[in-house]
Chain A
Amino acid sequence: LAKTTQPISMDSYEGQEVNITCSHNNIATNDYITWYQQFPSQGPRFIIQGYKTKVTNEVASLFIPADRKSSTLSLPRVSLSDTAVYYCLVGDYHSGYSTLTFGKGTMLLVSP
């Protein structure tokens, strides 16, 4: 499984756009990039997944450059409730036999 590197923590203020970058230099051809969000005392929750270019949903956008060695999760106009840990995962998750490997994630703190 490709190893990922992401910042340990980030700080932001309400209303700002937050971009969290994840490095995955040894990503394989069949690998997808997936992001999860975890609030305190809860299990992680799927946010978004992509393979290349840009993916957008109602929660976030995911930007993946052509070489796919990194990706950026973009959260538009964050609020206090976006304070959470964000995990970047890389793997061939469309295979029924794959497992998710969670790193330590990025702790995002949103202040008023």
Chain B
Amino acid sequence: DVKVTQSSRYLVKRTGEKVFLECVQDMDHENMFWYRQDPGLGLRLIYFSYDVKMKEKGDIPEGYSVSREKKERFSLILESASTNQTSMYLCASRAGTGGYEQYFGPGTRLTVT
């Protein structure tokens, strides 16, 4: 079974803090993704990566950055957390060419106070 794990299920941070959300997948997938999910807005793509050290902006990259130093790990960074970044963050991975099934992690519910 594909497994995508996220470092925390719940996280509470203060405004202005630097926040790291970690995601690890164990299926040697090339593609990895970070989404946020908010009530009434659905899932929105923040950043994605096709390969190690590669990154592409999604639909809402402002206020976020990412890092992919190893194939299995994709980190989402909030340089200076703000209250409007309170959300559910979901990581996903997918195989490269020919892979259409995307596997999601359990999510991290981040609260910024």
What residues of A have a CB within 8 angstroms of the CB of B40 in the complex?
104
Within 8 A of B (CB), among A71-112: 87, 93-97, 99-105
A44 near B107: Cβ-Cβ < 8 Å: no
Q: How far is the CA of A46 from the CA of B97 in the complex (A)?
A: 17
State the 10 A-B residue pairs at the shortest beta-carbon distance, nearest first: A43-B104, A96-B97, A102-B43, A93-B100, A96-B96, A104-B42, A46-B101, A43-B90, A102-B42, A44-B104
A41 near B107: Cβ-Cβ < 8 Å: yes
Within 8 A of A (CB), among B23-57: 30-31, 33, 35, 40-45, 48, 50
A42 at interface, CB cutoff 8 A = yes
Count A interface residues, CB 8 Å. Answer: 23
| Pairs A–B under 8 Å by Cβ, sample size 10 | A43-B105, A43-B106, A44-B90, A49-B101, A94-B97, A94-B99, A96-B50, A96-B97, A99-B58, A102-B42
What residues of B have a CB within 8 angstroms of the CB of A94 in the complex?
97-100
Q: How far is the CA of A94 from the CA of B101 in the complex (A)?
A: 9
Contacts A42-B107, A43-B90, A45-B104; A105 near B97 (Cβ below 8 A): no
What residues of A have a CB within 8 angstroms of the CB of B92 in the complex?
43
Task: Find A99's partner among B48, B99, B107 (CB 8 Å cutoff).
Answer: B48
A34 at interface, CB cutoff 8 A = yes
Within 8 A of B (CB), among A26-66: 32, 34, 36, 41-46, 49
